[in-house]
Amino acid sequence: MEFRFTAEEEAFRKEVRGFIHEEFPKVRDGESFTRKLAERGWLTMSWPKEHGGQAASHMRQLVYNEEMAYNRAPGQTMGTDRVGPTIILFGTDAQKAELLPRIVKDEIAWCQGFSEPGSGSDLASLQTRAIREGDVYVVNGQKIWTSGAQRADYMILLARTDPDAPKHRGITYLLLDMKLPGITVRPLKQMNGQQHFNEVFFEDVRVPATAVVGEVNRGWYVSTATLDFERSGIGRVIGGLKTYEDVVAYAKGTPARDSAGTLFDNGTIRHALADIGLSFAVGRLMSYRVAWMQSQGMIPNYEASMAKTFGTELHQRMARVAMSTVGMPSQLLGESAPMGGNIPFTYLNAVSLTIAAGTSEVNRNIIAQRGLGMPRG
């Protein structure tokens, strides 16, 4: 494995970095920024040309994703990083023709209807039902922790179509228009004050049978591909690197609280920061390996779970080290607070990272079974 970037890839890195520094400060929200990315073709650069992409290499995509994540810029949407690739693999020609051009242009927003109140880590136990009636499926049930549902145009939905089949079978993957009658979205207020997650209720929602992705009753296997796409990005590692660098700079420039010198002169703080720095280096290489595998035509599975688990747990450790390094001022908000008041949000947002896209426990099971060849526990 060779993780050295070509001169062309490094030139592209400079181009992306310059674009971020020039354009990102101008936008009021992430959506207007991703529209600019769509105009350049960057949102779907690795997609095949026949579907509106540039057929860019996986390593070029990696460079782009790394720069976006490092600079805390929204470089992908749910449509471009998992829904579109899933439709390319499993969708019908009609679904591709209708939806892929709109995803390429960033014209539609998506949400993911997988988790339910009683089916999170054990996702295959989901109970939302879809019953075939003529040329439609009638959907009833509830989803929870649905990110961005209050703004979404479409949902990728898992519903049980055969209640008598084994739980991993009898599930069907549907593309659901969120404007259909019978859908209720209820935002959930989080401890950081935001409302990113939602409950979604379905009452006799009539979904066209043409919305099925893949085979009926085989949606579980389609969903595993979607989750592999979600887990594969380098952003889960690099997204916290800039905050880490800010904490290191703060420690070097802030007088120690109970001794001479700076906070960085404290051995305990210095060692804790060194451990986090080491982990970022390891996590970056793990993500590079996933991208390299994709460039060789391989499909990362447990490798993506390894990178996802390591990266999200690293974010949580980094947030705890940031809090302990800065001390009491780390709880302050506002521009005058250390690091512009970013630390409390970093700490609170990190909580959900080891839950989304499969909990650390689920991903460790994947690593054990598919990576180490161990039996199911």
Sheet strands (E) in the chain: 110-113, 129-133, 136-144, 154-160, 171-177, 183-188, 197-208, 212-213
Domain residues of the chain, as ranges?
7-104, 110-217, 232-371
pLDDT score, position 82 = 94
Q: pLDDT tens digits for 211-262?
A: 999 999 999 999 999 988 887 778 888 989 999 999 999 999 999 988 889 9
Highest mean pLDDT pick, 203-207, 234-238, 336-340: 203-207
Contact 197, 145 (CB under 8 A): yes
The yes-or-no answer on residue 230 being catalytic is yes
* Residues 119-142: tens digit of each pLDDT: 988 899 999 999 999 999 999 999
Cα 301 from Cα 312, distance rounded (Å): 17
pLDDT in tens, 248-275: 999 999 999 888 899 999 999 999 999 9
**From the candidates 116, 230, 303, 313, which is the catalytic residue?**
230
Q: Is the pLDDT of residue 2 over 80?
A: no
Q: Give me the phi and psi of 54, to 5 degrees please.
A: -115, 0
Task: Report the SS3 class of residue 144.
Answer: strand
Q: Which two tokens stand for residue 253?
A: 């420039």
Planar angle of CA 198, 191, 355, nearest 5 degrees: 60
161 and 130 in contact (C-beta within 8 Å)?
A: yes
> How many angstroms separate the CA atoms of 83 and 95, rounded?
12
Cα dihedral 199, 200, 203, 207 in deg (nearest 10): -160
Residue 176, phi then psi, degrees to nearest 5: -110, 125
CB atoms within 10 A of CB 111: 25
Write out the DSSP string of 32-75. HHHHHHHHHT-TTTTS-GGGT-----HHHHHHHHHHHHHTT---
Domain 110-217 has CATH 3.40.109.10: no
Instruction: Assign domain 7-104 to a CATH class.
Output: mainly alpha
Q: What is the pLDDT of residues 355-373, one digit of tens each?
A: 888 899 999 999 999 999 9
**Which CATH class, in words, describes the domain spanning 232-371?**
mainly alpha
